[in-house]
Structure 1
């Protein structure tokens, strides 16, 4: 992974594509994504992630020079060889297994193998009740701006998490909420945004407030629209 003097290995990312190991992507489409000018590829998904399909996707991406990180959502899909690793912590749930249960269980078994300099926690705030991640984790998605701000302060100031991920997976989110998250995170956390970005204009809107815009589902439904988001984000002022 190239080191460009940024504060972290992901610190210079403005646009990333997120690819799901459990979804099919052709070699032609993968080539277009990896050669698009995006800053990185994140591999991860909520369901159907296995060691085998994660290794397969990583090997295909590794033919390109683009940075490639793994979001470790299940220990079955924990694969060595990525440039970096994100460990999600769901902030807006009262189910302890998604805050520290699964994470500590994984560290008990694999902690001595973790490449700590290339590993970062993601504080997820899931705001779409229909998203698979919300159903699985029992996330309280009905937050107002004051409640969102409190969650961001918890992550950014008290927990000192390096990434706060505003997740609307499946639909485009409320940009006022994203603005609130960005303005609240004054302790150093980077704001990632993902959800419903299916054309350049939505990508541009999200990039106005998020440090990093994550584009996922549209890769599988409209590749040209997905590719158009790279230039939209790179030309933004965020």
Structure 2
């Protein structure tokens, strides 16, 4: 049986908001009231303490759970329900494996609320994305190569979350399905390129949780269609 924290264990769908991008009040309200299971706040560039704080304050007007995905040590903001700590397991640059985490422990170890943190084993699968270029992620050339990274995350490190990040492009559903079959410990997140309800459903059938991000800023009304419909009450 897979181990998950109670907060995200039942999540099927989450929206990811970028503090460095503009979003109208109308769009934010629709996203937060959509029936999605949760909100992730995070991004690769332009992330500051100020814009994270501002976005969290806006989201807090609604009841939806909100998690910060930490990408900068100086942009960690108190008040979130939980914090995700990414570990890019296929990073080609050593400084993006454990160096930022060690620096955080060195500076703030005594102040870190460990019970509020969950480590994500990130596998970045779009080398042309911002995070792919930043970390010089090593791309798997086959499903067997991908199994190496996912097994490292799931079995050797036994991280609570395995996050397959295609970051702007739509992944191969057969790869996601095969990874899911081999995953025994980690909760499987999928993110990347979901552009409509059909794609969302396909990936929802293969991953534990799907994350929709870019579509919000392209067409937020279409992004709402990716949220699974709730069964009607009798």
What's the TM-score bracket when you normalise by the shorter of the two chains? over 0.9
Whole-angstrom CA distance in 2 between matches of 1:114 and 1:197: 34
1:180 to partner: Cα distance: 2.0
Identify the residue that residue 181 of structure 1 maps to in structure 2: 179
Which has the bigger relative contact order, CA under 8 A and spacing at least 6? Answer: 2
8 Å contact kept, 1:130–1:170: no
Bigger drift between 141-150 and 72-81 goes to 141-150
The normalised TM-score by structure 1 is 0.92
Identify the residue that residue 170 of structure 1 maps to in structure 2: 168
1:7 to partner: Cα distance: 4.3
1:8 to partner: Cα distance: 3.0
Q: 3-state DSSP class of the match of 1:172?
A: coil
Q: 3-state DSSP class of the match of 1:80?
A: coil
Identify the residue that residue 25 of structure 2 maps to in structure 1: 27
Confirm whether residue 204 of structure 1 aligns to residue 201 of structure 2: yes
1:112 to partner: Cα distance: 2.1
8 Å contact kept, 1:134–1:141: no
- Which one of the candidate residues 142, 145, 150 is aligned to 1:144? 142
8 Å contact kept, 2:127–2:136: no
- Which one of the candidate residues 98, 105, 108 is aligned to 1:107? 105
8 Å contact kept, 1:18–1:44: yes
1:62-121: CA deviation from partner (whole Å, max 9, x where unpaired): 111100000001112111110000000001123222111111111211222222222100
1:231 to partner: Cα distance: 2.0
Identify the residue that residue 65 of structure 1 maps to in structure 2: 63
Where structure 1 has 5 or more consecutive residues not aligned to the other structure, the ranges are 1-5
Count residues with an aligned counterpart.
Answer: 228
Identify the residue that residue 98 of structure 1 maps to in structure 2: 96
8 Å contact kept, 2:165–2:191: yes
Superposed, which structure 2 residues align to 1:24-63 within 5 Å? 24-63=22-61
- Which one of the candidate residues 71, 83, 86 is aligned to 2:84? 86
The normalised TM-score by structure 2 is 0.94
Q: 3-state DSSP class of the match of 1:231?
A: coil
1:29 to partner: Cα distance: 0.5
Q: 3-state DSSP class of the match of 2:193?
A: coil
Bigger drift between 54-63 and 172-181 goes to 172-181
Where has structure 1 moved over 6 Å in runs of 4 or more?
none
Whole-angstrom CA distance in 2 between matches of 1:118 and 1:225: 32
RMSD over aligned Cα, in angstroms? Answer: 1.4
Q: 3-state DSSP class of the match of 1:25?
A: coil
8 Å contact kept, 1:120–1:162: yes
1:134 to partner: Cα distance: 0.3
